Structure 1
Amino acid sequence: MSRNPVSVRFPKLTAARVAIAPMIVQLCPGAAFAAGDGCMASYYRAKSPACVDDTLAQLRQMAANRQAEPSTIIGFLAELFRTSPRERERILGAEPSDYVKSVEVVSLYRAGLPDEAQKFAATNNLSSLSDKLRAARIAPLDAVKPSSIPSDNDLLIGAYMASGDPALIRRILDNYASADDAMVSHGLRVGFMMSKFGPGLAAKGRDAVMAKALCEKYECKTDQTKFLRVMTLGTALWSLQSLSAQDEGIKKTLSEFFSRDARLKNLFGAEQAAFGNYMTAIMLVSTFRKDRTGTDQDRTFELMSKSASIYENLGSGNDAFEPFQGLKK
């Protein structure tokens, strides 16, 4: 798949650059927008033009502080442009913002409408952008299959918001089906941690070591592809779990995907149990960090600190649970 030349630029991770967590925050700007309270997330139910106008108004406000391509909105607009010529004409004919016009050029290419994109770009002094996108052979929505580009998740989520088509969500999740067991488990772990603690992947009071452990495990300082695939898997789970709280279609698709495949069902169950144990461990660590008054509490603190550290450093769920056995002795 061709990379989009105006998408998020992932910084090279050299030996001198170990600030992995800030980079992870950059991996999912679209997901953060998608999980917000705006009407875009439920647009497909009523397909109100007023909702589109409100979404574009929010995009104009983002223009001054943009640091990455708004992939969710691009996917949303691309699906609208692809399926609703009348709405496409209305949107393109009424836009005052040069920044939003540039987003619309990208969206037209993502919609698989290169001729329309070139005409719109020429009319709005954006031919240089159009030329770059055409030369890069930017993939249309129908060809986007997330693997190691986290923003591809956001493109398909945006398209789902415009259409309500669960096949788009399944295409995001198919990345899990083709990943090996280790990547599936680590992607799920990242997703669970993001859902609870945000992109820093660390509970309050804990060192942010998981991202560094993932970088080392997948040798991201020499080749980011495998590391970014785990992040793509993790941000997919994070985004879809967040959205599923208010979208029954996503909730159903997510549940069915992991339940219908025995391998994925087992791996999901194991990571879910491991995360539950981790939450218990850090709760006990927090409880006894300052209020230890005896040997038993000291021992509980030490064992649970060990358990949490094993989990954060990518140890298996069984290994991380082993210190719990010491509480029974």
Structure 2
Amino acid sequence: MASYYRSKSAACVDDTLAQLRQTAASGRADPNTITGFLAELFRTSPQERERLLKAEPSDYMKSVDVISLYRAGLPDEAQKFAAANNLSSLSDRLRAARMPPLDAVTPSSTPADNDLLIGAYMASGNTAHIQRILDNYSGADDGMVSDGLRVGFMMSKFGPGLAPKGRDSVMIKVACTKYGCKADQTKFLRVMTLGTAIWSLQSLAAQDDGIKKTLSEFFSRDARLKNLFAAEQAAFGNYLTTIVLVSTFQKDRTGAAQDQTYDLMNKSASVYENLGSGKDAFEPFRNLKK
């Protein structure tokens, strides 16, 4: 799917849908990216839209098609397709919810919106979809930008637990508390939306020049974001070094000096994991040198 916009191959679409039908049968399907992909395809290629809707054998995928038609800004087509496939109740709920079309999706506090726009990019190669994902950083304050970047870097390296093996997974809990998620999840979910954005885009940029260029230019042209990105990138590098040393000293401590070094490094890692500033996290090393 990621390469479709280059080839415009119908076989690519068919293979992608076949894989999704299999994952849906196992209960592991996440339709957000394919919904964005199909929405972009449906609105830009009527011929391909007609081919896919007529050929779809899966009830699950038919429900995804209804959602995708609404996201494509094609409510009349969505209602007709739903009526023909016993999905009118779904269509009625979507119409009542006033689901925004793809062009109106601007990610803020809904991580799934990132996936929708990534899917749309895969169908079109239009970097405006990627730009809208990144624009979420422009409106966030410094603390939220830094926390979003940190979550994204940790997710890229360690997965959804945001912690290396042997370390307590605390970052999500700390972020929840910091942003008052029990009273209102909006700010917490915005940090997670920012985090999943940088995680997914950095991963995709490794094989997609359009995303790579858009990502690089976005952070380089804004002095505030450029500095925050560089600071978090440096702090993440320090953290990776620290946890390697913590693991080493944990096994090989042979005296008081090594115990002190271990304690200071462990404290640094903990400050970082608890969303402390990069400067505060690695201050103990300066104390150690003194």
Deviation at 1:238, TM superposition (A): 0.3
Distance 2:106 2:30 in 1: 18
The 3-state SS of whatever aligns with 2:282 is helix
Deviations 1:144-165 (A, max 9, x none): 0000000000000000000000
On the 8 A contact 1:169/1:253 being kept in 2, the answer is yes
Quick check: 1:258 aligned with 2:219?
Answer: yes
Aligned match of 1:91? 52
Distance 1:76 1:158 in 2: 4
TM-score by length of 2: 0.98
Quick check: 1:107 aligned with 2:68?
Answer: yes
User: Which of 284, 291, 295 in structure 1 is aligned with 2:252?
Assistant: 291
Distance 1:91 1:228 in 2: 34
Deviations 1:34-83 (A, max 9, x none): xxxxxx01110001000000011011112223367510000000000010
Give the number of the structure with larger relative contact order, counting CA–CA contacts within 8 Å between residues 6 or more apart: 1
On the 8 A contact 1:284/1:304 being kept in 2, the answer is yes
* Structure 2 gap ranges (5+): none
On the 8 A contact 2:23/2:29 being kept in 1, the answer is no
Deviation at 1:203, TM superposition (A): 1.1
Aligned match of 2:203? 242
User: Which of 190, 197, 202 in structure 1 is aligned with 2:151?
Assistant: 190
Aligned match of 2:121? 160
Aligned match of 2:26? 65
User: Which of 124, 127, 131 in structure 1 is aligned with 2:85?
Assistant: 124
**How do residues 168-317 of structure 1 correspond to structure 2 at under 5 angstroms?**
168-317=129-278
Aligned match of 1:33? none
Quick check: 1:135 aligned with 2:104?
Answer: no
Deviations 1:280-315 (A, max 9, x none): 111110111111112332222111001001101111
Q: How many residues end up aligned between the 2 structures?
A: 290
The 3-state SS of whatever aligns with 2:289 is coil
Aligned match of 2:284? 323
Q: In the superposition, relative to structure 1, how do residues 234 and 149 fare at CA in structure 2: closer, same or farther (>3 Å)?
A: same
On the 8 A contact 2:20/2:29 being kept in 1, the answer is no
Distance 1:173 1:144 in 2: 13
Distance 2:210 2:254 in 1: 50
**% same residue:** 81
Distance 1:223 1:67 in 2: 29
Distance 2:130 2:44 in 1: 18
Distance 1:48 1:66 in 2: 28
Distance 1:193 1:324 in 2: 22
User: Which of 12, 15, 32 in structure 2 is aligned with 1:51?
Assistant: 12
* Structure 1 gap ranges (5+): 1-39
User: Which of 107, 113, 116 in structure 2 is aligned with 1:146?
Assistant: 107
Deviation at 1:84, TM superposition (A): 0.4
The 3-state SS of whatever aligns with 1:160 is helix
TM-score by length of 1: 0.87
Distance 1:248 1:181 in 2: 28
Distance 1:315 1:124 in 2: 53
Deviation at 1:140, TM superposition (A): 0.4
On the 8 A contact 1:303/1:326 being kept in 2, the answer is no
CA RMSD, Structure 1 to Structure 2 (Å): 1.0
Counterpart AA for 2:68 = S
Distance 2:9 2:148 in 1: 36
